[in-house]
Amino acid sequence: MTPHHHLDEATVLRYASGDLDEAFSVVVACHVAMCPACRRAVRLAEEVGGALLEEAEEAALAPQALERVLARLDAPPPLPLARPEREEGDVPLPLRRYIGPRLDAVPWKTVAPGIRRHRIRTAGGTPSPLYMLHIGPGKAVPEHGHGGAEMTLILSGAYQDALGRFGPGDIADLDEHIEHQPRVEGGAPCICLVSTERPTRFKGFFSRLLQPLVGI
């Protein structure tokens, strides 16, 4: 699977510099997990961090800092290091911590005819909501703009709009200037992972349509 729709370059830098909150960083990480091109882009953006660290000023450490660390080197690490999960599944790794490895096990709730939702609780009580949508085949969303940034990652199925076709692995990394009218392709439902900025005015993509339903 090679995605055709990628992260905005500004998003790559924000992710690498740690500016995105948990909801957005999970959506970005899931795309990055599926997209070698964006993985490379993130790596370059992390090298920017490395270069700035090299050139950074220095703040003198406490006099015993090195001794204290040396004394801890042989202590066992408090937690085992994270290892990739080998379990079979169709959920990208960064999302598995939240919903497990399989899309068919998501506990959907019907919020409107043809539309199901699963809201994901984030650890840090992140300001931006994170949720999944399951939209029936052939369903269209009215033309709309966005009240704030919104990221939609397609996990299964596909939709089309003026920006093109969005299939599995594709990410729509949109800001408030984009207007579009997505229509889910016939045949299969579209399952996607969505994070939205909590805007003052609400007219985002799935958000505007679903705000009363999604309850965000």
Partner 1 sequence: MRAEHRVLLERVARHRDRAAFALLFAHFGPRIKALMVRAGADHAQADDLAQDVMLTVWRKVDLYHPERGSVQGWVYTIARNARIDRLRRGSARAYEDVEALDLASDAPDGEEGVLSSEICEHVGAAIATLPEEQRTIIEYAYAQDLSQTQIARKLKLPLGTVKSRMRLAYVRLRDRLEELR
Site for partner 1 contains 19 (CB under 8 A): yes
Binder among 205, 209, 210, 216 for Zn ion (CB under 5 A):
205
Spatial strand order in the sheet of 164-166? 164-166, 159-161, 183-184
Per-residue contact flags (x/-) with partner 1 for residues 86 to 125, judged by CB under 8 A: -------xx-xx------------------------xxx-
Q: Give residue 39's Cα distance to chain centre.
A: 14
CB of 198 to Zn ion, least distance (A): 16
Choose the one of partner 1, Zn ion, none that binds residue 35, judging by a C-beta under 5 to 8 angstroms depending on kind: Zn ion
85's torsion region: left (phi>0), alpha (psi -120 to 50) or beta? beta
Choose the one of partner 1, Zn ion, none that binds residue 84, judging by a C-beta under 5 to 8 angstroms depending on kind: partner 1
List the structure tokens of 96.
């598995």
Of 16-24, 35-43, 56-64, 97-105: span binding Zn ion (CB under 5 A): 35-43
Distance, CA of 183 to CA of 166 (rounded, Å)? 10
Per-residue DSSP letter, 79: S
Closest to 18 in 3D by CA, of 48, 55, 54, 58: 48
Site for partner 1 contains 80 (CB under 8 A): no
Per-residue DSSP letter, 140: B
Per-residue contact flags (x/-) with partner 1 for residues 32 to 71, judged by CB under 8 A: xx--xx-xxxxxxxxxxxxxxxxxxxxxxxx--xx-xxx-
Interacting residue ranges for Zn ion, rule: CB under 5 A? 3, 6, 35, 37-38, 205
